[in-house]
Amino acid sequence: MELLLSDQIYSAFQKQLESARRFVWVATADLKSTYIRSEGSFRSILEVFASLVRSGVEIRLIHAKEPGTYFRREFDRFPALLESDRFERFLCPRNHSKCVIVDGKSALVGSANLTGAGMGAKGADKRNFEMAFLTDDPVHIRSIMEHLDSLTMGQYCTKCKLRSVCPDPIA
């Protein structure tokens, strides 16, 4: 297990996405238009996700609130995300987990949301102060995946006390 601080999280996130071969799961509370360095330039995270989907990688994105207007407009620019069954998006207002799991082999778990200031390409003087752990421990990764699977399968929906205000109940 490795402790990462602020810009180290950004670097680890980039490396994780570059190593993805089968799947990427991202859980975040806040979701904004985010850019990362990829293939020698800065690219939208949505462009990176679309490229991964086209190459056969499955993406699961779990977030707590609807993203802003700019993100939604940008999302529409990538039909691979709209049309592919390899891209799943779940909205749960109670999700405040922040993690990235790649291929069930590594997990980045910490405080950073999927935003420019959290895990994106904002400069060092604009970036949030964040902390995370990067692990390859299969026991931890399995537990995280089981928790997120339960959430995305709607296991918590029927008893949820926020269901009346949930914009898109999973179950």
Average pLDDT over the chain reads 93
**Position 163 confidence tier, pLDDT thresholds 50, 70, 90:** confident
- Which residues, at least 6 apart from 94, have a Cβ–Cβ distance to it below 8 Å? 64, 156, 160, 162
Instruction: Give the mean model confidence (pLDDT) for residues 31-51.
Output: 90
DSSP state of 114: B
Residue 90: beta bridge partners? 62
Cα–Cα distance list, 138 to 43, 104, 106, 145 (Å)? 31, 8, 8, 10
Do residues 113 and 119 lie in contact, with contact meaning Cβ atoms separated by under 8 Å? yes
pTM: 0.94
Using the predicted structure, report yes or no on whether residue 15 has a pLDDT greater than 80. Answer: yes
**Position 154 confidence tier, pLDDT thresholds 50, 70, 90:** very high
pLDDT tens sequence across 66-123: 898 889 999 999 999 999 999 999 999 999 999 999 999 999 999 999 999 999 888 8
Q: Report how far residue 154's alpha carbon sits from residue 140's, in angstroms, rounded to the nearest whole number.
A: 22
| Domains identified in the chain and CATH numbers | 2-165 (3.30.870.10)
* SS3 (DSSP) at 44: strand
**Position 49 confidence tier, pLDDT thresholds 50, 70, 90:** very high
**Position 142 confidence tier, pLDDT thresholds 50, 70, 90:** very high
**Position 137 confidence tier, pLDDT thresholds 50, 70, 90:** very high
* SS3 (DSSP) at 82: helix
